[in-house]
Amino acid sequence: ELVKKFMEATAKGYDFAISNPKESAEVLIKAVPELDKNLVIASQEYLSKEYQSDAPKWGEMKSSVWENYAKFMKSNGLIKKDLNIEEAFTNEFLPKK
């Protein structure tokens, strides 16, 4: 239940950032004023389109992405054995929209 509530709150934050890139950048700048304001705004303008670019909703994972990443890691010596994709992730805790 705790994880589900955390994921609901996180999804709300990402949904806000996706829909309101400039405002979400301003929230971050206010919380961390030492950041470069222009960089944060430019970054958020770009990232707001990428947070959910290939998924029906924020946070949803796909087996194909994990398979490709695991192959990359193994071929580059970052992991030694094959990754069990079925055990690598879950979408179980994502909010139901």
pLDDT for res 54: 84
Q: What is the mean pLDDT of residues 48-74?
A: 92
- All structural domains of the chain with their residue ranges: 2-88
Q: What is the mean pLDDT of residues 74-83?
A: 95
Mean per-residue pLDDT over the chain, rounded? 94
Confidence of residue 24 (pLDDT cuts 50, 70, 90): very high
The model's pTM = 0.76
pLDDT for res 57: 85
User: Cβ(15)–Cβ(58) under 8 Å?
Assistant: yes
In this predicted structure, the answer to whether residue 97 has a pLDDT above a threshold of 70 is: no
Identify the CA nearest to 85 among candidates 67, 59, 65: 67
Q: What is the DSSP string of 5-49?
A: HHHHHHHHHHHHHHH-HHHHHHHHHHHSTTS-HHHHHHHHHHHTT
Domain 2-88 has CATH 3.30.565.10: no
User: Cβ(82)–Cβ(70) under 8 Å?
Assistant: yes
